[in-house]
Structure 1
Amino acid sequence: MKFSIDGATRGCMELAGIGGILRACSGEAKIIFSKALGEADSNLVEMMAVKKALLIFSTSRWNKNRKLLIENNSSTAVKWTKHPNSASWRMRQLIL
C-alpha cells in the first residue's frame, strides 16, 4: 500500500496543513486525511504528515498483512524518517 502525503505552509511559521491518501496496489483509495495545523515551519509540517500517515496505517486493518510505502516530496523528511539520528531532537520526537 502507498501513502502519498504532503505538508504545506504559507511561509516560515505561518498557517500550515497536512494531507494524504492511502491507496491499495490496485490504485483504489482507502483512506484520505487532511488537517490544519495552525502555525508551523515547512520541516515540521512535512514530519507531521509522516507521523499522521504512520499512525493511521498502524491502526488500520491492513497493518498486519500489508507493507507500507510512504511517498513524500520533502527530501529532508525522507532523510530524517530513514535516519532519525540525523534529525534534531524535536523532529526525532515525531518519528520515534
Structure 2
Amino acid sequence: MGKNLNISSFIASFICILLFFLLTFVNGIRNLFFELAGFHPLYMVLVFSVLTFFTGLAGCAGIDGWKAMGRSIVTVVLTLGLSLFTLFVLLMGNLLNLT
C-alpha cells in the first residue's frame, strides 16, 4: 500500500507542475476554466498540490530502498515548493486587485 502511494504521489506531483504551467501560460484554458467554475484555476492547483504533498508524506511509509526514498523526497520537495509558490502568487494577485 505504501509503495503504491509513493509512486502515485510521485506521478501526481509532476501532474501538478504540468497543470500549473498549463493554467498559467495558456490564456484560453484559464479563461474557460474561470467561466465554467467561477474561481481562479490556481486554487485548484493549490488544493491538488497540498493533497499530493500529504499523500507523499503518507507514501514515505512504503520506503524500501534508495529509489523509493528518492521518489519520496522529490515528491515532498516539489509539492511543497509548488504549494508555497502558488499560494504566494494567489496572495500577491489578490493584494494587487484590491483597488
**Which protein is richer in helix relative to its size?**
2
What TM-score, normalized to structure 1?
0.38
- Say which structure is richer in strand: 1
Give the structure with higher Rg (CA).
Answer: 2
Taking CA–CA contacts closer than 8 Å with sequence separation of 6 or more, which of the two structures ends up with the larger relative contact order?
2
Taking structure 2 as the reference length, the TM-score comes to 0.37
